[in-house]
Each structure stands twice: as structure tokens, then as C-alpha cells.
Amino acid sequence: MRTFSEFQIIGHVGKVKAVGPTLRVDIAAEYGRKDETGEFRSNPYWNEVTLFGERLVAWAKENVKAGDLVHARGTVRQTRYEKDGQTVYGVTFAADDFDLLAPKALAPA
């Protein structure tokens, strides 16, 4: 049996930053809801997705900007390292697929 750990996010881009040979893209997925008065309340969740691979990183640097609507899909990896005698845990969302769905000017709010 094949096993896997996978994520999928459709959301708007926040920060885009180069870290060594990778590119890290903050993506906000919107989980808005109506409050007790019936008003819509925004409730975004931010996730940092890491892009690997020279071609994908170069393409994203040239084509993806803050506010764009994107789709990211890939693997979830738990990280662990020691700092000041303490074990620090984290999660890496490593994108296998990353697509621009709509630039900021055309992306739905």
C-alpha cells in the first residue's frame, strides 16, 4: 500500500521571499463566516509554501506577486532541530505543483 502526506491550498499571495535556492510564498486561505449579526467576517489562515527546483522558482519570481490567486499542492514534511538545548518542531509545505490562477487585478476578493 502506498502512503503519503499531502496538502492543497487555493488562496491569495502575501509575501514572496527567496531563501537560498528555494522560494517561500505566504498564501492566505479564506475561512470567512457570518457572525451572530449576519455580517461576513474575514478569517484568513496564512501558510508558508516552499517552492523547490530552479525552473519553478525562476518562473514564480517572475510571474507571482502579492494579491495573486494561486493553487499549491504538495507534500507535508515535519522538521525537527535542536536550538539552545530544546527540540524545535516545524512543518514544511513543499509544493510539487504551483499555479497562478488569476493575477491580483483579476482575482476575486
Contact at 8 Å (CB) between 68 and 12? yes
pLDDT tens-digit readout, 54-97:
999 999 999 999 999 999 999 999 999 999 999 999 999 999 99
- Residue 109 is predicted with a pLDDT of 61
Domain segments of the chain: what residues? 6-102
Contact at 8 Å (CB) between 39 and 65? no
Rounded CA separation 53/91 (Å): 19
Confidence of residue 2 (pLDDT cuts 50, 70, 90): confident
- Residue 107 is predicted with a pLDDT of 58
Question: Which CATH superfamily does the domain covering 6-102 fall into?
Answer: Nucleic acid-binding proteins (2.40.50.140)
Q: Is 70 exceeded by the pLDDT of residue 108?
A: no
Task: Say if residue 26 is exposed, middle or buried (CB neighbours under 10 Å; 0-12, 13-18, 19+).
Answer: middle
pLDDT tens-digit readout, 17-59:
999 999 999 999 988 888 888 888 888 999 999 999 999 999 9
- Residue 51 is predicted with a pLDDT of 98
